[in-house]
């Protein structure tokens, strides 16, 4: 119902004419008593208003009569006027007198000045003047402009408060109907959204220009008619009514354009600026940042130079324009610097591993905004890749753990039955050989499964860690003593170097021993026979370093990173025993204790470096 009411054309037309009528009524009911009160002046009486309006009308008649007397024109048209008059020249001589000293309501004097040539052909003129004084004793029941004006001002002044109250009511009603018109603007029957009519589709700047042209035409017309008393007032009244219609149409068009979001978009200036903006943006995407910076600086410098030369002789103006320029330049530079700082901080945080960090692009200029968006996209890609890798590692670890547990149960049964069969001591030598192979391979498989489970737990941090003070020198001496016989059997010579002062670290003794055990096992398996193996303990500031060095038996073709990966073995032919998990487990165990393991290859030299933080020195 509401939509149908505001979209109905007859309702809109009726509201439009009612609004114009109420506006005219409001103007009349407010302007007339206001004018009467102005005429009444400080006295504030009806008699004072009547006298003031009578003097205003008489002044125009007096000036006309003075000009007629100067140019010897007839005064017949003034014979029936409700006033008497006296005309005198500049010497005070009475030229005409119809005033008989009778009482009068108002009087007005007007003087007409002219040049007078006393002799024919004379080039010298004398300034002369004629003064006319009118005396009016107005009968309000008479005819003519003067009685009509006196009656009108009397009526308006006597009823001024009632008229002002009615004018206020008319204003409220006019405002209500105007609000309805502007609310209904753009709505048409059968339309779900406001739409523009043909006038609203005219570009707004051209539309405004047409209204300005009409206003200028009105001013020119009124100026031409200002010397014609009656036509001037008739045309003025007609143009006022037309202006009310035009003002309502203009504001309703603005309302429609605002509702349809076309006020700025549907302008020639807006279209031109949009076209230029798209052109600049398209060019800016292909221009390097340095070129754009030089263009902006060149434009600003040209403007500053132009303003300087235009105000060269006005130092104060030069100073003002210089200040205005800096007020524009400094905020722009600060904005760019803040954007660069935000971009730099965001890149640093992403590079530090905070891949989820997003750089805010608010208030960043074009190139900086695009750079920030690119960094955000890099962070998103890194986050997705990291999440995918972590998920893959979890799946891999869970698979290894689950399969290892599933294999461990039947393997335990195999080992137990092989052990039972060996205890039976079969006499068949072939059977004994088979049992030895089963025993050896099942033990190897058991060791592999245990390594898999341990590697899985170590990489996921599920192993318990109890850190206690450990003296590394003593632990290394125990390791050398433990593997001295095995190394000697392999033709290896173990050489241990350590500082005189004991080195104490916080570590889990079991895990640290497992690390050393894995490293020594690898050395005994892969070191070249007849070479020396060096174990060095060094103190570098607050860091304890254990260095293992040996010469590899086989050529090492793996990179430093690949050596500590799972299932990677130095013997690429895989002819030796081992699972390829030793270094991976050792690295994970060191990381659990807050240390690190780094393996490097230099030709045939294989080197492993363990680092741990020193917490105390032994006495």
Torsion of CA 294, 295, 300, 302, to 10 degrees: 100
Check whether 176 has a pLDDT greater than 90.
yes
Contact 55, 40 (CB under 8 A): no
* 430 and 467 fall within a common domain: no
Torsion of CA 144, 150, 156, 158, to 10 degrees: -140
- What's the number of CA atoms in the CB half-sphere (13 Å) around residue 116? 12
Domain that holds residue 450: 383-461
Q: Is 227 contained in some domain?
A: no
Q: Is 274 contained in some domain?
A: no
The predicted structure's pLDDT at residue 290:
67
pLDDT band at residue 567 under the 50/70/90 scheme: very low
Least confident of 88-97, 162-171, 386-395: 386-395
- Residue where one domain finishes, among candidates 461, 485, 505: 461
Tens-digit pLDDT profile for residues 571-591: 444 444 544 566 777 787 888
* 445 and 518 fall within a common domain: no
Check whether 345 has a pLDDT greater than 90.
no
* 404 and 452 fall within a common domain: yes
User: In this structure, what are the phi and psi dihedrals at residue 593, rounded to the nearest 5 degrees?
Assistant: -95, 5
Q: How far apart are CA 185 and CA 252, in angstroms?
A: 6
The predicted structure's pLDDT at residue 455:
61
Percentage of residues in the chain having pLDDT higher than 70: 77
Q: Is 133 contained in some domain?
A: yes
Residues 6+ apart with CB under 8 A from 14: none
pLDDT band at residue 175 under the 50/70/90 scheme: very high
Torsion of CA 411, 414, 415, 418, to 10 degrees: -170
* 444 and 468 fall within a common domain: no
Higher-confidence residue: 476 or 230?
Answer: 476
As to burial, measured by CB atoms within 10 angstroms (0-12 exposed, 13-18 middle, 19+ buried), residue 74 is: exposed
Residues 6+ apart with CB under 8 A from 378: 350
Average of per-residue pLDDT across 90-98: 82
Structure tokens at 394: 């979890």
* 336 and 412 fall within a common domain: no
Check whether 412 has a pLDDT greater than 80.
no
The predicted structure's pLDDT at residue 112:
76
Check whether 65 has a pLDDT greater than 80.
yes
* 414 and 297 fall within a common domain: no
Structure tokens at 13: 């037309």
532-540 vs 493-497, strand pairing mode: parallel
What sign does the CA torsion over 403, 406, 410, 411 have?
positive
- What's the number of CA atoms in the CB half-sphere (13 Å) around residue 331? 6
Q: How far apart are CA 95 and CA 88, in angstroms?
A: 5
The predicted structure's pLDDT at residue 192:
81
Q: How far apart are CA 197 and CA 184, in angstroms?
A: 13
Contact 61, 181 (CB under 8 A): no
How many domains is the chain partitioned into structurally? 4
The predicted structure's pLDDT at residue 573:
43
CA 33 remoteness from chain centre? 54
As to burial, measured by CB atoms within 10 angstroms (0-12 exposed, 13-18 middle, 19+ buried), residue 483 is: buried
First CA to last CA distance, the chain? 98
* 451 and 427 fall within a common domain: yes
pLDDT band at residue 618 under the 50/70/90 scheme: very low
Most confident of 132-146, 204-218, 446-460: 204-218
Supply the CATH number for residue 410's domain. 1.10.287.130
The model scores a pTM over 0.75? no
The predicted structure's pLDDT at residue 569:
46
Higher-confidence residue: 535 or 394?
Answer: 535
Q: Is 255 contained in some domain?
A: no
* 535 and 447 fall within a common domain: no
Check whether 394 has a pLDDT greater than 80.
no
Q: Is 532 contained in some domain?
A: yes
Structure tokens at 524: 């005994």
Q: How far apart are CA 367 and CA 345, in angstroms?
A: 17
Q: How far apart are CA 487 and CA 477, in angstroms?
A: 14
- Residue where one domain finishes, among candidates 174, 204, 223: 174
Check whether 213 has a pLDDT greater than 80.
yes
* 434 and 499 fall within a common domain: no
Query: How confident is the prediction for the chain on average, in pLDDT?
Result: 78
Supply the CATH number for residue 492's domain. 3.30.565.10
What sign does the CA torsion over 341, 344, 350, 354 have?
negative
Contact 134, 58 (CB under 8 A): yes
* 140 and 169 fall within a common domain: yes
Q: How far apart are CA 126 and CA 113, in angstroms?
A: 11
- Residue where one domain finishes, among candidates 174, 192, 225: 174
Partner residues linked to 599 by β-bridges: 608
Q: How far apart are CA 274 and CA 262, in angstroms?
A: 13
* 42 and 129 fall within a common domain: yes
106-116 vs 126-136, strand pairing mode: antiparallel
The predicted structure's pLDDT at residue 536:
92
Q: How far apart are CA 457 and CA 116, in angstroms?
A: 127
Q: How far apart are CA 406 and CA 385, in angstroms?
A: 31
Q: Is 601 contained in some domain?
A: yes
Q: Is 468 contained in some domain?
A: yes
The predicted structure's pLDDT at residue 572:
47
Give the three-state DSSP class for 481: helix
pLDDT band at residue 421 under the 50/70/90 scheme: confident
Q: How far apart are CA 43 and CA 252, in angstroms?
A: 44
Q: Is 365 contained in some domain?
A: no
Residues 6+ apart with CB under 8 A from 408: 446, 449, 453
Give the three-state DSSP class for 358: coil
* 420 and 487 fall within a common domain: no
């Amino acid at each position: 119902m509401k939509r149908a009411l505001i979209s109905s054309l007859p309702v809109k037309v009726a509201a439009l004419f009612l609004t114009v009528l109420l506006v005219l009524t409001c103007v009349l009911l407010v302007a007339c008593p206001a004018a009467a009160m102005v005429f009444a002046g400080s006295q504030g009486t009806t008699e004072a208003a009547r006298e003031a309006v009578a003097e205003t009308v008489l002044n125009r008649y007096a000036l006309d009569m003075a000009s007629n007397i100067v140019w010897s024109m007839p005064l017949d048209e003034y014979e029936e006027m409700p006033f008497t008059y006296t005309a005198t020249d500049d010497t005070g001589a009475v030229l005409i007198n119809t005033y008989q000293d009778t009482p009068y309501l108002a009087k007005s004097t007007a003087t007409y000045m002219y040049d007078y040539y006393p002799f024919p052909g004379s080039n010298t003129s004398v300034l002369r003047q004629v003064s006319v004084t009118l005396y009016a004793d107005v009968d309000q029941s008479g005819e003519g402009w003067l009685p009509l004006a006196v009656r009108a001002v009397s009526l308006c002044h006597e009823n001024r408060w009632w008229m002002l109250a009615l004018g206020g009511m008319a204003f409220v009603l006019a405002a209500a109907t105007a609000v309805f018109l502007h609310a209904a603007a753009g709505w048409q029957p059968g339309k779900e959204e406001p739409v523009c009519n043909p006038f609203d589709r005219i570009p707004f700047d051209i539309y405004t220009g047409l209204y300005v042209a009409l206003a200028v035409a009105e001013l020119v017309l009124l100026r031409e008619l200002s010397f014609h008393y009656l036509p001037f007032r008739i045309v003025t009244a007609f143009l006022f009514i037309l202006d009310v219609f035009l003002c309502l149409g203009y504001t309703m068009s603005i309302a429609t354009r605002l509702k349809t979001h076309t006020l700025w978009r549907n302008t020639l200036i807006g279209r031109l600026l949009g076209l230029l903006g798209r052109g600049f943006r398209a060019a800016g995407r292909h221009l390097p940042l340095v070129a754009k910076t030089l263009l902006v600086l060149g434009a600003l410098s040209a403007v500053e130079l132009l303003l300087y030369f235009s105000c060269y002789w006005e130092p104060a103006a030069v100073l003002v324009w210089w200040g205005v320029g800096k007020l524009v330049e400094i905020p722009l530079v600060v904005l760019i610097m803040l954007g660069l700082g935000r971009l730099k901080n965001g890149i640093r945080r992403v590079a530090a591993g905070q891949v989820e960090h997003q750089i805010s692009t608010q208030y960043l200029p074009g190139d900086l905004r695009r750079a920030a968006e690119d960094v955000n996209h890099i962070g998103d890609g890194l986050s997705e890749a990291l999440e995918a890798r972590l998920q893959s590692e979890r799946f891999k670890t869970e698979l290894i753990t689950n399969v290892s547990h599933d294999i461990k149960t039947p393997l335990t049964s195999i080992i137990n039955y092989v052990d039972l069969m060996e205890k039976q001591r079969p006499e068949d030598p072939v059977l004994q050989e088979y049992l030895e192979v089963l025993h050896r391979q099942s033990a190897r498989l058991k060791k592999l499964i245990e390594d898999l489970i341990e590697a899985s737990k170590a990489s996921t941090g599920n192993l318990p860690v109890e850190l206690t003070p450990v003296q590394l020198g003593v632990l290394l001496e125990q390791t050398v003593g433990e593997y001295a016989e095995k190394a000697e059997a392999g033709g290896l010579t173990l050489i241990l170097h350590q500082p005189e002062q004991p080195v104490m670290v916080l570590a889990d003794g079991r895990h640290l021993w497992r690390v050393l055990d894995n490293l020594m096992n690898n050395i005994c398996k892969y070191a070249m026979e007849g070479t020396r193996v060096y174990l060095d303990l060094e103190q570098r500031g607050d860091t304890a370093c254990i260095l293992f060095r040996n010469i590899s038996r086989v050529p090492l073709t793996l990179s430093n990173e690949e050596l500590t990966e799972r299932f990677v073995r130095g013997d690429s032919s895989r002819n030796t025993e081992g699972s390829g998990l030793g270094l991976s487990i050792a690295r994970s165990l060191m990381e659990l204790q807050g240390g690190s393991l780094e393996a490097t290859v230099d030709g045939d030299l294989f080197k492993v470096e363990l680092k741990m933080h020193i917490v105390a020195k032994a006495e």
